[in-house]
Amino acid sequence: MIKSFKALAVAALIAVAPFSVQADSHKGAVEEVLVILSSDSLQTQGMAMVLSNTMAQQGTKVNVLLCDKAGDLALKSYEAPALKPKDVTPGQMLRGLLKQGGEAKVCALYLPNSDYSQDDLIDGVGVAMPPEMAGQMLNPKMRTFTF
């Protein structure tokens, strides 16, 4: 009986542990992140935006650097198939992130190597300058994620 009680107690602790970890998960959380998105994969772009929006909702300041084909998300003319289950595009999710206070910039090489100009970008999206981006990447208080 003692062995089965111990096993039951251990099982109960294991079952409850994820909830206590989850409740404390924001203690000492990273205050600011840099998300570098360069993939042309619709699902990868979508997941990067889902996670970016989720981090913003949890109180983290989110900076997004859009490079190569991912820069297209910032275009006024951007169109893509909607992703399930929410039926939104990565571009729509980027716009939602901007409304939450996130920042987005296209790579310094994006516009000069495309047929687009800064006028083609949605409001709130700028052009990244290498010294600024390098500073963010080297900042030990800022976590960087790449997609």
**Residues 106-135: pLDDT tens digits?**
999 999 999 999 999 999 999 999 999 999
Q: Which residue has the tokens 């913003």?
A: 56
Asked if residue 6 has pLDDT above 80, the reply is: no
Q: What is the pLDDT of residue 115?
A: 97
Average pLDDT over the chain reads: 87
Asked if residue 85 has pLDDT above 80, the reply is: yes
Q: Which CATH class is domain 30-146?
A: alpha beta
Q: What is the pLDDT of residue 60?
A: 98
Asked if residue 19 has pLDDT above 70, the reply is: no
pLDDT (average), residues 30-50: 97
Q: What is the pLDDT of residue 16?
A: 38
Q: What is the pLDDT of residue 28?
A: 63
Task: Report the 10 Å Cβ neighbour count for 116.
Answer: 18
Q: Contact at 8 Å (CB) between 36 and 147?
A: yes
Rounded CA separation 24/115 (Å): 48
Q: What is the pLDDT of residue 11?
A: 40
Q: What is the pLDDT of residue 30?
A: 87
Q: What is the pLDDT of residue 25?
A: 55
Give the dihedral of Cα atoms 32, 95, 122, 88; nearest 10 deg.
140
Asked if residue 63 has pLDDT above 60, the reply is: yes
Using alpha carbons, select from 142, 97, 89 the residue that is nearest to residue 124.
Answer: 97
pTM: 0.81
